[in-house]
A and B are shown apart, each in its own frame.
Chain A
Amino acid sequence: MLSYAIFSGITLGGMYALVAMGLTLQYGVSRIMNLAYGELVIVASFIAFVFMTALGINPILGLLIIIPASFVLNWVIYRILLTPLVARAKNRGMLEVDSILATFGLLFIVQGVLLVWFGGNYYSYDFLNNAVNVFGATIAANRLVALGFALVIGLGFYLILTRTRIGTALRAVAVDPTSARLVAIDVNFASCFAFALGGAMAAVGGVLVSMFLTFSTSMGVVFTMKALIVVIMGGVGNILGALIAGLILGVAESLVATYVDPGLTIAVTYVIFLLVLLIKPSGLFGRATS
């Protein structure tokens, strides 16, 4: 029971970490506080569902289509919806307020479209649902696959950020957009790229989550919330912090769901968030902010 709870916590935590990495990129580099982020996760879940049930494409193959598609979609969202806000914002605070409002509107539009198409029911599909034995715990194979992909993609993402030229540029913009210009970094391009990459991560998270969890049109808010909490807990812009914070959140939730009550998982999330806010609002590994 314990090993099962911990393993499912790690799988869940891995998903949170993956989704939060994308958000930390969007918020840390592009300075967009994206409240519609979780909706993108859910949209990807539904697309994976349609691929699997209607077209017979399994979600892993689906990723090959969904990743580039979501990258392009988020690129377009940034160029069309967010660039005007970036242009009119006089400082970071104003951009934050404007982006919160714009993406808040986007959230209701996306949610409305999903509701019209899919209704309010819970969805799930069968994919690799056979049991596998790991360290004495019986686990569905799809969880293992999801975790494996989360690890590979998360690691690849980390390597892109730390080992490549564009990744270094993104990190420079995250630290200081004004100084980044001085070393010939195209800040607008970097912001747009970071936003699109973050959106692609959200889509990956959505596809992987849909393999082993039931999902509904109204779950986007919860994903946004958890991703935001993980981002803050790990320290804004901190990829490894997001990984560790995500795992902590996943395991804590899973333990409470197993031993206390599944209805209280969101309360756990909030208790953790409160503790972070009260003790170390700059995050577990964050630098002190002004």
Chain B
Amino acid sequence: MSILKPDFIKPVAIGAVIFAALAFLPSLVDSYYMSLAISVVSFAVLATAWSMFSGPTRYISLATVVFFGIGAYTVAVLGEVLPFPMVLICAGLAGTVIALLVGFSTLRLAGVYFVIFTFGLTELVRQVVSWYEVNVTREMGRYVFLDITQNDIYWQLLALFAVLLLTGFILGRSRLGFALRIIGEDETVAKHCGIDVTRVKVALFVLSALFMTLTGAIMAPRWTYIDPVIAFNPMLSFQVVIMALLGGPRRLLGPLLGVIPLTLLFEVLTANFPNHFSILLGCVFMVIVYLLPGGVVGLYEKYRAPKKRALATDQNAKSGGNAA
């Protein structure tokens, strides 16, 4: 790992300046734009965290909201018992444990098992939490009254995003990140290079889940009322996947390019077509899958290096043809 080299210091310094500038946003805009900014930053964390694992490995996780919801629920349960930093730590631990369980039971198998498992996981967690609340605690729905303002939430999310980007940046130049890219290209090759494939995948999955959980925990005070249906809404997982795919999940800053336009689009859609939101979202998603398979980043790369790409497709045409 090459810390303290100019090619490391320069981007980090630029990033630090940008984030420091963004921290002054609350003094510039009113509360409507602040709430929009919170949506953007929270989706930015979720989509970047999602891409950190799913981008290089191509294992599509459909369970973002499971971790997000666990974070939010931990705050709802413990928020008034413990000081907030302690609550965040507890949420992080809970998310890590669940991610380890999911990771170790599915990630040693082919990717499709992981997708299926995460696909139903939201439903499972929601029903189990509901069951537990109804039968054991007898408290369906909880109130979150914490002394945390909108600006606090914004700053916390911004800090979390900065940490996430730094982590991703360091990861990209570390042995672990390199191992992950090899796994994404060809798992068999990775095994033959002596990479412990399962451990690398689980480690990254847990890391990405940790950031999702913390986002949920930080966002929880924004709702005053939380129940399992609100906390574990599958729509959120779907939105995160769309954003990451639109931006391009294989670059660190790629998802951000999807987050900003889509958060604004969702804002317009929920305001104008609340009943048709899911249909429109599905259509947007289809358009991205069919027309922009590599995301905005992929499009940029395609036009930046047309020669290289033409060569590659040529080779594919020669070797391919029996893909079905």
Contact = CB atoms under 8 A, between A and B. Distances in A.
A289 B285 CA distance: 32
B313 to A, nearest CB: 10
Nearest to A265: B127
A281 interface: yes
Interface in B93-138: 105-106, 109-113, 115-117, 119-120, 123-124, 127-128, 130-131, 134-135
Contacts of B77: none
Interface string B230-271: 000011001001000100000000000000000000000000
Contacts of A109: 278-279, 282-283, 286
A104 B116 contact: no
Contacts of A266: 120, 123-124, 127-128
B62 A104 contact: yes
A187 B324 contact: yes
Contacts of A100: 60, 112, 115
A263 B135 contact: yes
B113 A264 contact: no
A35 B285 CA distance: 14
B123 to A, nearest CB: 6
A178 interface: yes
A207 to B, nearest CB: 23
Given A104-B62, A263-B134, A116 B111 contact: no
A96 B111 contact: yes
Contacts of B131: 261, 263-264, 267
Interface stretch (B25-33, B38-46, B217-225, B315-323): B315-323
A264 B130 CA distance: 10
Interface string A218-244: 000110110011001000000000000
Given A188-B324, A267-B124, A281 B113 contact: yes
Nearest to A221: B123
B188 to A, nearest CB: 9
Given A112-B279, A221-B123, A224-B119, A90 B289 contact: no
B285 A221 contact: no
B277 interface: yes
A112 B282 contact: yes
A115 interface: yes
Interface string A263-290: 1101101100110011001000000010
A33 interface: yes
Nearest to B284: A105
A98 B289 contact: yes
A27 to B, nearest CB: 9
A97 interface: yes
Contact of B60 (A101, A178, A221): A101
Contacts of B62: 104
Interface string A77-117: 00000001010111101011110111011111111110110
A256 to B, nearest CB: 12
B285 A105 contact: yes
A97 B269 CA distance: 27
B10 interface: no
Nearest to A270: B124
Contacts of A263: 127, 130-131, 134-135
Given A35-B119, A263-B127, A90 B323 contact: yes
Nearest to A219: B123
A55 to B, nearest CB: 26
A191 interface: yes
Interface in B121-168: 123-124, 127-128, 130-131, 134-135
A108 B116 contact: no
B276 A112 contact: yes
Contacts of B286: 102, 105-106, 109
A9 interface: no
16 contacts: A101-B241, A101-B245, A104-B241, A105-B282, A107-B282, A108-B235, A109-B282, A112-B282, A116-B275, A221-B119, A225-B116, A232-B113, A261-B131, A261-B135, A266-B124, A267-B128
Interface of A: 31, 33, 35, 84, 86, 88-91, 93, 95-98, 100-102, 104-113, 115-116, 177-178, 181, 187-188, 191, 221-222, 224-225, 228-229, 232, 261, 263-264, 266-267, 269-270, 273-274, 277-278, 281, 289
Given A111-B278, A112-B281, A221-B120, 10 more contacts: A90-B316, A98-B289, A104-B62, A181-B322, A191-B324, A224-B119, A261-B135, A266-B120, A266-B124, A266-B127
